[in-house]
Structures are given as C-alpha cells and as structure tokens.
Chains A and B, each alone.
Chain A
Amino acid sequence: MAGKGIHIEGLKKRYGSGDTAVDALIGVDMQVAPGEVVGLVGPSGSGKSTLLKCLGAVIEPTAGRMTLGDLVIYDGGWKVKDLRALRRDKIGFIFQAPYLIPFLDVTDNVALLPMLAGKPNAESRKLAMELLQALDVEPRAKAMPSQLSGGEQQRVAIARGLVNRPPVILADEPTAPLDSERALAVIRILNDMARKFETAIIVVTHDEKIMPTFKRIYHIRDGVTYEEAGEGREFE
C-alpha cells in the first residue's frame, strides 16, 4: 500500500505554547489505499476536525509525516510550496452541508475547480457533466443549488470533490443532514467513485447508520488514532 493513497505517520498538532498549550493530535497514524473508503470516528473534542484540517493543508501540523501517493506533503514542515494548488489539485473536499456556490448552476459549481486549475471552460464543463451523469444528477445540470433537494445537493458536492480526480477525498460528516436511505446512498456513491477513480476517501462521521458500511474504521480519542476492522456491509 506504501506509495499509493494517503499515508500519515506520527502526526502531531499543538495549539498555543507554554502553560496554555493544547495537544490536539498526539500521534496519528493512518493509511488509506486508493479505492478505499475508511471511517474516522471520535467524540467531540477528540481531534477529528484538527486532523481533517491538517490533512486538508489548511493548518500546519507540529510534527509527523504525510504523503499523498509518492508526494511528500509534510515532513516536519510543508514540503509543497503552493498549498492552495495542492488543495485544488490533490485533495477533494465534501462538507457536512453541501456548501455549493449559490450563484453558480450545478454544472459550473462542479466545473469551477478545473477552471480554477486553468482548464478551458468547455473542457471543465465536459468533465463536470461526466461526473453529474455518473452521479445521476445530469438532468439538473442547469438548475441552481436552491432548486435541488438535499440529496441532489450532496451528490453535486461529491461531484465537485471528485472533478479534479484527486488522489484523496476528505468528507466531513457528509451524511449528517440526510435520512438513512439517502445517507446509505451517499456512502454507496462514495464507494463506487473511490473504486472508479482510484481515490482514497476518509469519511469523518458520527453517523451510526453508516458505520457498518466501512471495512476499516479509525477511532480517534484524545488526539490518538486506533484502527479497527469494520463490517463492510452493503458493498461486498
């Protein structure tokens, strides 16, 4: 598995310094292979969001090592100069709420990322349409986000996360606002997409109803991760 997916070793994050210092991450070790969807579970204050922000190159860890495929992105310091480009090209984000851009239609919400990466508008929209078709929201391609249902919005958000074909996707409680049926549908889509695009997906969740769907689950408690085998139901 080494050299592919995402690999995290001994990741630490300390907020503040001196007497007021707080160690949010003490030792995080994770490895997610391409095409794999793993769960990241933990109570409030356990360090989930901090870990997600470190993985997303939004905040800088204090120590440790992170690699994306063969690319070392952190090893005691950032090894990539343009973190913005790293987020755009190598990391896909799916949020708790879809957070679609309200003034762009469905196609352009998805096509925006390749456009930002410098791809021509027509090519970007073509990539977007392929994903919208794969996620079964192509008929709503010209709709505005406010005209979509919650499930449709989340599928568009997944398409946006996948459109630049990133090696890793960070999904922050993507099923929280959905009912059981739709939550399972989203997880099914994530698994399909992970396999189809060889993407490693980390799903941060509290959602008990999707827990049995993961083959592997990372528990995080007091800034330390523990790996556990999951049931892997539904997607065998």
Chain B
Amino acid sequence: MISLAGRDIMHAWGKFVFTGVGLGLLIGITLSMAGIYRGMVDDAKALLDNSGADLWVVQQDTLGPYAEPSSIYDDVWRGVRGMPGVARTANVTYLTMQVRQGGRDVRTMVTGITAGEPGTPGWPPYLVAGRQMTRGHYEAVADIASGFKLGDHLQIRRNHYTVVGLTRRMVSSGGDPMIFIPLKDAQEAQFLKDNDAIRQQRLRTAANPAFNRPQVPGLLDAVIASQSINPYVNAVLVQVDSNHSAEEVAESIRRWKRLTVYTRDQMEEILVGKLIATSARQIFMFLVILSVVSAAIVAFIIYTLTLGKIREIAVLKLIGTRNRTIVALIMQQSIALGLIGFVVGKITATLLMAPIFPKYVLLEPLDSVMAFVAVVVICILASIIAIRAALKIDPAEAIGG
C-alpha cells in the first residue's frame, strides 16, 4: 500500500515545509527556554563544583552565602581548621556588582579569595590564559565571559586591578561571570564608604563624648580605626579529608562552633530548589504555554488541510477505504509536520538562538529526546480534531444531489 500522507506531502511540499519552519521557530523557542533553565541549574552546579569546597560554613541560621547575606568573623577559619576531618579551609567573600573597565561596565560576582596555591578552596581550578594571583592586592583573575582580557585594568570601588589570568565557566548562580581578587581587597570593597560618608562618621564619633574622652588619649583613634576595617567574610570553605564524611564533619562543626554548615547536596538544594525556583517555575509556565500554542497551531493547520480534502476523503470512503487508512493519512501528516518543526527547531535553538542568548543555554540531549517525544504526542493529539472531522464526512458527499 502506498503512503497517502507521503504523497500528499510531496504534492504540496512547499506548504508543508513553510508551515513546518514556522512551527519549528516556535519549537526552537521552547527548546531554548528549556536550555535556559538547564543553563541556570548548570551555572549553580558550576559555582559549587568550581569552589572546590565540601562544606560551606556560614552565619548561624542563614542560607548564605549565595541565597542570603552571611557574615562571620574572618578568623573563624582557624577554629574550623582544627576540627577533626578538616583538610583545608579558606575564607571567601562574594559581592555582585558592576565592574568598570574604561567606558563600559560588566555585571560580575567579585569573589575575594585567600592567598594560597591552586587547589585552595575558592580558587579558580584552572586558567585558560595568564597566571594565578601572586600578590596580595590589586590583581584579578576574570572569567572569560566577562569580556576582559589579560592586562586589562578594572575598577572595583576606588581601586584599580590588573587582569593577570583568565578562567572559564566560573559564574554565579545568576550566570554573572566571576572576578577573583585578593580577600583583603574584597573585604574592603564590601563595606567601603565614600569619602564624605567616612568624614561624617568620624565627626559623629568625635562628637560622641563616650568615645572622645580627654582623659583617655588614643581612644578616639582606636574607635575610628576599628570602624574603617571589615573583619567579616561571607563564608569559610572547607575541604574534608578522605577519611571522613562531609556530613560527619559538618555535624561536628555545627555542634562545637555554633555555626550553620552546608554540605554539597544541601547547598545544591538551596541554589536549585530555592534561589532559581521562581525562575524555573516561570520557565516551566512558558514551556506549558508554548506547548499549548504549538498544539493549537498544529491542530489548526491539520484541521484546515483536512477540510480542504473533504471531497477526496468522501471519494476515498466511497470506494472502500478503511477508516484506519484515513486516520493514518491525517495522523502521519500531523507527525510529519511535527518532525519538520522539530528538526527546524533543534537547528534554530542550537545554531541560532543559543549563541546569541546572553545567558548560558544548555541543550541536553535528553531534553531533545523528551522534546521530540512531546512534539510527536502533541501532533497526535492535535490531529484528533481533524480525524473526527474526517470520519464524519459522509461518503455520499461524493455522489451528487
């Protein structure tokens, strides 16, 4: 038996291809939306993976340092380092801000890391160009997505930094590229006030008789000095030695240091389950809407094509064509339209949309397989209206009168 659907498609291939291309653009947007969600999850995981930490020690009862503000003293790491099972510790600060370079600025996550060597928690695990930071101030390592190049001079607050190294896939959970600077500089940048504010604060402190006592020389200077430093970091990153489990060490730190500690899985749950949950729901709603729109378009097109063949279907029924042959004709056309749309959509999403989207778009093969199955199912469902219409056609319509 010949394929009636195939012959009909070949007979009007231009109409099918152009309709399929239109549908494909819609499917391309749907795939891109799924890719954006996957990209967000991947960004969150990259942030955790690249930190090199097994545990995150943060301010008590907070979800820090990525989902909520967290401040702990910068000497907490010493006590944590002495706990059983702890191999390495490092302070870290995170500050999302605009970093200026020349006439432009880039939204980045400025990360303060402690002096050390590659492998220290918080350090970028690898570079694609240049070297790691070797000085205690005014050097930076930038993610290549920031657009900065080796030797570029950046301005963070009042200070200028030279880019000495470039890394890749070091991004915040929001997809902002990371800029690594020395911890002390980052701590200063976090709470640095402008000169007028500093002057105002000094005048206020001097006007306070509790701090400005003539009989206690040096008190005022000591208070002002304490106000101009930042002894806080956002978290202590911990690497656990191979003989201990992360959960066991985390429990020990929670009990003895009275701090909140998150393991890798807990931190992933916070990032994926809480931080990007709203965005994920929004994207899911877009996916649902786009799927419904795609289904409606396929249904309308197939219904219109079927109505255009009423006389032919009536003749086919009159000369003895079985209903299943007519159902197959319509359903195969619907699926063919979906397949054309899927191929166009996949190419569009991969080659056209993903490279130009500002956010990372991760097109997982499994998502494509699921999308393919969804397209086929949607096309089958969308053809039902047309099939019902075709089955209602009376073969007597082929006979006049």
Q: How far is the CB of B138 from chain A (nearest CB, A)?
A: 74
B228 at the interface (CB under 8 A from A): no
- The answer to whether A59 and B312 have CB atoms under 8 Å apart is no
B197 at the interface (CB under 8 A from A): no
The number of chain A residues with a CB under 8 A from chain B is 33
Interfacial residues of chain B within 369-401, with CB under 8 A of chain A in the complex: 394-396, 398-401
- The answer to whether B320 and A87 have CB atoms under 8 Å apart is yes
- The answer to whether B318 and A93 have CB atoms under 8 Å apart is yes
Query: Can you sample 14 A-B contacts with CB below 8 Å?
Result: A48-B401, A49-B399, A58-B395, A59-B396, A84-B322, A87-B318, A95-B398, A104-B2, A104-B4, A113-B320, A117-B320, A160-B319, A172-B400, A173-B400
Q: How far is the CB of B396 from chain A (nearest CB, A)?
A: 5
**Count the A-B residue pairs with Cβ separation under 8 angstroms: how many?**
82
Q: How far is the CB of A85 from chain B (nearest CB, A)?
A: 6
- The answer to whether A52 and B399 have CB atoms under 8 Å apart is yes
- The answer to whether A101 and B1 have CB atoms under 8 Å apart is no
Complex Cα distance, B7 from A121, in Å, reads: 15
A112 at the interface (CB under 8 A from B): yes
Q: Which one of B317, B320, B322, B401 has the greatest number of beta carbons of chain A within 10 Å? A: B320
Given contacts A95-B399, A99-B312, A116 and B321 within 8 Å (CB-CB): yes
Interfacial residues of chain B within 246-261, with CB under 8 A of chain A in the complex: none
- The answer to whether B320 and A95 have CB atoms under 8 Å apart is no
B310-344 toward A: CB 8 Å interface, digit per residue (1/0)?
01100111111110010000000000000000000
Contacts of B7 in A (CB 8 A): 103-104, 108
8 Å CB contact of B319 from A59, A93, A173: A93
Q: Which B residues lie at the A interface, using CB under 8 A? A: 1-2, 4, 7-8, 10-12, 311-312, 315-322, 325, 394-396, 398-401
- The answer to whether B400 and A99 have CB atoms under 8 Å apart is no
Complex Cα distance, B317 from A173, in Å, reads: 20
Interfacial residues of chain A within 84-108, with CB under 8 A of chain B in the complex: 84-89, 93, 95-96, 99, 101-104, 108
Given contacts A93-B318, A95-B399, A96-B400, A108 and B12 within 8 Å (CB-CB): no
Q: How far is the CB of B400 from chain A (nearest CB, A)?
A: 5
Contacts of B395 in A (CB 8 A): 58, 87
A141 at the interface (CB under 8 A from B): no
Given contacts A49-B401, A50-B401, A116 and B312 within 8 Å (CB-CB): no
A142 at the interface (CB under 8 A from B): no
Interfacial residues of chain A within 65-96, with CB under 8 A of chain B in the complex: 84-89, 93, 95-96
- The answer to whether A115 and B320 have CB atoms under 8 Å apart is no
Q: How far is the CB of A124 from chain B (nearest CB, A)?
A: 9
Give the interface SS of chain A, mostly helix, strand, loop or mixed.
helix
Contacts of A96 in B (CB 8 A): 400
Q: How far is the CB of B353 from chain A (nearest CB, A)?
A: 35
Complex Cα distance, B314 from A53, in Å, reads: 13
Smallest CB-CB separation from A173: which chain B residue? B400
A8 at the interface (CB under 8 A from B): no
Complex Cα distance, B304 from A178, in Å, reads: 32
Complex Cα distance, B2 from A96, in Å, reads: 26
6 closest A-B pairs by beta carbon, nearest first, are A88-B320, A49-B401, A103-B11, A103-B8, A58-B396, A103-B7
Contacts of B325 in A (CB 8 A): 116
Q: How far is the CB of B305 from chain A (nearest CB, A)?
A: 11
Smallest CB-CB separation from B10: which chain A residue? A103
8 Å CB contact of B2 from A84, A102, A115, A172: A115
A223 at the interface (CB under 8 A from B): no
- The answer to whether B399 and A89 have CB atoms under 8 Å apart is no
Complex Cα distance, B172 from A17, in Å, reads: 78
Smallest CB-CB separation from A84: which chain B residue? B320
Q: How far is the CB of A107 from chain B (nearest CB, A)?
A: 10
- The answer to whether B400 and A85 have CB atoms under 8 Å apart is no
Contacts of A184 in B (CB 8 A): none
Smallest CB-CB separation from B8: which chain A residue? A103
Complex Cα distance, B324 from A43, in Å, reads: 38
Complex Cα distance, B317 from A113, in Å, reads: 11
Smallest CB-CB separation from B321: which chain A residue? A116
Q: How far is the CB of B27 from chain A (nearest CB, A)?
A: 26
- The answer to whether A53 and B319 have CB atoms under 8 Å apart is no
Contacts of A103 in B (CB 8 A): 4, 7-8, 10-12
Contacts of B12 in A (CB 8 A): 103
Complex Cα distance, B394 from A121, in Å, reads: 28
Contacts of A104 in B (CB 8 A): 2, 4, 7
A114-125 toward B: CB 8 Å interface, digit per residue (1/0)?
011100010000
Q: How far is the CB of A141 from chain B (nearest CB, A)?
A: 15
Complex Cα distance, B287 from A12, in Å, reads: 59
8 Å CB contact of B320 from A59, A116, A121: A116
Given contacts A116-B1, A116-B321, A121-B2, A101 and B316 within 8 Å (CB-CB): yes
Smallest CB-CB separation from B395: which chain A residue? A58
Complex Cα distance, B321 from A88, in Å, reads: 8
Complex Cα distance, B12 from A48, in Å, reads: 37
Complex Cα distance, B396 from A49, in Å, reads: 9
